[in-house]
Homo-oligomer: A and B are copies of this chain.
């Protein structure tokens, strides 16, 4: 029996509220032997107070040694087995811009890139154009018509856009056309099976048309497509948990992930302060609140230890406002680690705290990786945090007589 089947059977209604605050890429590493991690270095009196009052631990996004992308990282935190549910990048990007992907659709992430006279890629991101330019270029691409397949082109930001192919019998097993390095031609799309060959044919025709339309638009004079994906068949948080969930995220991908599991997605402004203010305004309308804070990850990916520390302190600063609302359960964690030292996502476990009146005390007095090692939650698969949240929120009945 999988966990969702069990929860579906045990869930009970309750007038309680759960806040899941995800500091993207929260976990870290010291820069030098004997040093502290970003979180341990940050001054976090409010998170430390939560750690003292609640239970701490380390969450494992997927499996030991496995580094998750944002998709699996968040699905785990939403309580979905990230090895069971796999979400292609095209779908995430499409959901993130509020594009309603349907059952006949295959979505792909597009990148504007720069090619030279021989068609060799000289910049895979076209010099990161302004979003306005991205919008203008997408408008050109929207003129493209393909036989038998409808095509939608929507800008995301900078060099990024979404293409959705809609038609009968389109598969998703299509390779990325981005060769992943400069000095090469973009790859042909090819399908691994009949339906995916239909998609690949449409993609190749689309790319040829795009090359023609963008010919004189250098640096945005070519496109690559990747992450071809159909909408996955995934149960919603309402169905499984009986919750009315809302997402307060700024970046498209996290909105997309939230929408995928049935969360409502609202405009939450552009800063964490805005998000917390939105949380306050919507407090009575929902019972599950997902707040996503991006900058702990992006500073980690930049390798900027000091900036990541500062972002954590900024996060800490918002905690009292969240606590003032009186959530029954507050979880603070990350979807994965992004150590500044590694400048990338990593497989390391993620410091996690759960604050509720029903927590059993543990010896953790500060929020940080080494403190969390001694925490009452232990080292726990991320997908079980949601079950713990429901339990502490009085939303799960007894299993068996």
Alpha-carbon distance between A70 and B400 when the two chains are bound, in angstroms = 7
Query: Please, could you name 6 A-B residue pairs with CB atoms under 8 Å apart, sorted by A?
Result: A64-B387, A66-B399, A69-B401, A70-B401, A71-B401, A348-B360
- Report if A318 contacts B (CB, 8 A): no
The CB with the most chain B CB atoms within 10 A, among A82, A389, A400, is that of: A400
Nearest CB of B to A174, in Å: 15
- The answer to whether residues A342 and B358 also contact, given A83-B6, A387-B64 and a CB cut-off of 8 A, is yes
Q: What residues on B are CB-neighbors of A10 within 8 Å? A: 66
Alpha-carbon distance between A370 and B364 when the two chains are bound, in angstroms = 11
Task: Give A residues with C-beta under 8 Å from B.
Answer: 1, 3, 6, 10, 29-30, 33-34, 37, 53, 58, 62-73, 82-84, 86-89, 92, 227, 341-342, 344-349, 358, 360-363, 369-370, 373-374, 376-380, 384-385, 387-392, 396-401
Q: What residues on B are CB-neighbors of A388 within 8 Å? A: 64-65, 347
Alpha-carbon distance between A227 and B344 when the two chains are bound, in angstroms = 49
Q: When the two chains form their complex, are residues A67 and B369 in contact, meaning their CB atoms are under 8 A apart?
A: no
New A-B pairs, 18, CB < 8 Å, besides A6-B66, A33-B361, A64-B377: A64-B380, A65-B389, A66-B399, A68-B399, A69-B400, A69-B401, A87-B400, A89-B401, A92-B401, A342-B358, A346-B358, A346-B391, A347-B388, A347-B396, A348-B360, A361-B370, A363-B370, A373-B374
Alpha-carbon distance between A88 and B1 when the two chains are bound, in angstroms = 16
- The answer to whether residues A398 and B65 also contact, given A347-B388, A362-B373, A363-B373 and a CB cut-off of 8 A, is no
9 closest A-B pairs by CB: A65-B387, A89-B401, A65-B391, A69-B400, A64-B384, A72-B400, A65-B388, A378-B379, A71-B400
Q: When the two chains form their complex, are residues A400 and B86 in contact, meaning their CB atoms are under 8 A apart?
A: yes
- The answer to whether residues A65 and B400 also contact, given A30-B361, A361-B30, A362-B370 and a CB cut-off of 8 A, is no
Instruction: Kindly report which residue of chain B lies nearest to residue A36, judged by CB atoms.
Output: B361
Q: What residues on B are CB-neighbors of A399 within 8 Å? A: 62, 66-69, 72, 82
Alpha-carbon distance between A67 and B400 when the two chains are bound, in angstroms = 9
Alpha-carbon distance between A1 and B85 when the two chains are bound, in angstroms = 10
Q: When the two chains form their complex, are residues B401 and A66 in contact, meaning their CB atoms are under 8 A apart?
A: no
**A391 partner, pick from B84, B87, B347, B373, beta carbons under 8 A:** B347
Q: What residues on B are CB-neighbors of A58 within 8 Å? A: 378
Q: What residues on B are CB-neighbors of A391 within 8 Å? A: 65-67, 346-347
Q: What residues on B are CB-neighbors of A396 within 8 Å? A: 65-67, 347
**A65 partner, pick from B66, B369, B390, beta carbons under 8 A:** B390
Alpha-carbon distance between A298 and B392 when the two chains are bound, in angstroms = 22
Alpha-carbon distance between A388 and B349 when the two chains are bound, in angstroms = 12
Nearest CB of B to A35, in Å: 8
Q: When the two chains form their complex, are residues B378 and A376 in contact, meaning their CB atoms are under 8 A apart?
A: no
Nearest CB of B to A348, in Å: 5
Alpha-carbon distance between A396 and B396 when the two chains are bound, in angstroms = 38
